[in-house]
Chains A and B, each alone.
Chain A
Amino acid sequence: MEIPYEVSARPDTGLYNAKFGMWLFLASEVMLFGGLFSGYIFLRLGADPGYWPHGLLNVPVGTFNTIILVISSMTVVVAWAALKLRQWGKYKLYMAITILLSILFLIIKLTVEWPQKFEHFGVFIKPESAAKYEQYFGNERLAKVGLPPRHEITGHLHEVEALKDGKTEEVKIESWSEVTKLEAEGSKIVGYKVAVDPTYADPNNPVHDHPSFLYPKPTEKIATIEAADVDTIAGPFYPSHSPYLAVYFTITGLHGLHVLGGIVVFSYFWLFGHKLYRKNPEHMANRVEVAGLYWHFVDLLWIMVVFPVFYLF
C-alpha cells in the first residue's frame, strides 16, 4: 500500500507530502516562539525603570555563533544539491560540515556563554538602602543626566559572611553551591563581598552610561553588601535571578533544543542515508531538503529574533 505524492509533487499544490507537512510544522513553531517573545515583550514593558538589565551578554561570541549558523545553513543546501546531482561523496562532506558547525554552536553556548553567566553574581539593593552604596551606583549623576537609577551590583562573589549559632564567619567562596551548602547546614548569610564589574568600580565614568558589547570583566575593587540591604535576589545569574535572565535562558534553551534536534536528524541522514539513497535517491534528496527547511527556520529564528532581541537590544 503506497501513499501517493511521497516523492513526486502533487500537480495542483506543487508540493510533495513531507515538504507541505514541514511548512505546516514551521507555522506552529512560529506561534511557539511567538508566544515566548510576546512574553519577553510583556515582561520588558512591565519592568520598572532600571530593573531591565543591558550589556549582560557577550556580543562577539554571539556574533561568532550567528556566523556559524549561517554557514551551516549554506552547507546544508550544498549537501542537498549534491544529492540532487547524485554526488554522494560531496553530500557526505557538506553534511558533515553542517553537523560539526551545529555541534560547535551548542558547545560554545554550553561551555562558554551559559557558564559565564552562572559564575557571575548579582545583588539587587533595596531602594531605601541605595544611598549607602552610592559609591558603586553613582545614581546622583545619573539622575542629573536623565538616566534611570542603578539598582543592582554585579561582579564575582569572593566571600560571604555566614552567621551560625550566634557567630559570624567569613568564608571564601569559589562557586555558588558552597553558599547553598552553608544555608542547608543552618547558616544565615549576612553579608556578601563582591569583586565588582567595571561599571560599579567607576560609576561616574560616562563610558558606563550605555551598555557595552563586550562582556564585563570583574575588577579588583571589593564591595561589601549587607544582607539586610538586599531587595529580592542575591545570587548568580541563574534563570531565577531576574525575568530577563529567565526569558533569556528559556528562549535560548528551547532554541538550543531545536538545534539539537536538527543535529540528531542530520546525523541520522549522514550515518544511515546510503540505503535509501541507493533505493530511491530522489526520496533521500527530499528528506534532506525537508530537514534543511527546518534548519533554515532554526537559523532564521536565531538571526532575526534571538540574536537581535537579546544581544543587540
Chain B
Amino acid sequence: MRRVSLTDKLAAIVRRDVLTTIRYRNGFLLSAVGVLAEVVAFRYLARAIGPAFRPEGVDYFAFLVVGSGFYTFLITSVQAFLSTVQDAQQTGTLEVLLTTATPAPVLIFLSAFSAFAGKLLNLAVFLAVGLLLFRVPLLHPNLAGVGLIFVLSLAGALAMGVFAAALQIAVQRGSVVIWLLGSVWFLTGTLFPVGALPLPLRWVAWWIPVTHSLTGMRGALLLGKSTPELASEILWLSGAAVLLVPTSLAFFSWVLRRGRREGTLSAY
C-alpha cells in the first residue's frame, strides 16, 4: 500500500489547525489586536526610559521587540500545542488519532510543528510592526544566522511541547512545563539584559535555552553578527536540540505505552 508522505500529513494537520483558528472568528481578531497593542506599549515604554539605555548595544525598543516577540512566540507555541492535546483528550479525539496508521510520535511531532507554524504568523506581524512600522534600523542583519538560530530554537521548543504533551497524558498537568518556562522569563533577557542579574542568577540563566535563543537572535538580526561570532549560541542550541528532541520523543512514547496499559489516554 502506498503511504502518504510526511509533508502531506503535515499539510493536513496545518490545514486543520488553520481552519479551526479562522473559524473562531472573534478570537482570531482579538489575538491580532493583542499583538498590535503589545508593540505599541513597548514603543512608549522605550520612549519613557529614553534613548540612553542601549542594552547589549542596541536600541531598547528593538531589544524589547525581538526579545519579547521571540520569547512569546516560543512560549505561546508550546501552550498552543498543549491546548491541542488537552482538547483532543476532552473530546476523545486523542484516542482515535492514536489508533490511526500514523505512528504516534510522528503525529505528535507534526501537530507540535503545526502549532508553532500558527504562532509564527503572530511573530511575523509583531516583528513587522515593530521593526518596519516604527523604523528600527537594522545593521546588515545576518539572515542565515537568523534562520539558523530560529531553527535550533524551534527544535528545542518543539521538544518542550512534546514534554508538555507527555506530562499532560501522564499526569494531566502538562501546564507545569508552561509554568516553568513562564516563571523563568526574567532570567532569559526578554525585557532587560542578562548582565543586569547577579552572578548566581546569570549562571542559572545560562542553562535556559531561551536565553541563548534571544541573545543569538538579537546578535544576528539587530547587530549583524557573523555566524562564527554566533558560534557559542549556535553550539549551545544545537547541543540542546540533539539532546532534547530524541529524549522528548522517547519520553512521549513511554508515556503513551503507559497510558495504553493504564487506560488513561483520555483522562483529563
Instruction: Tell whether A pairs with B.
Output: no
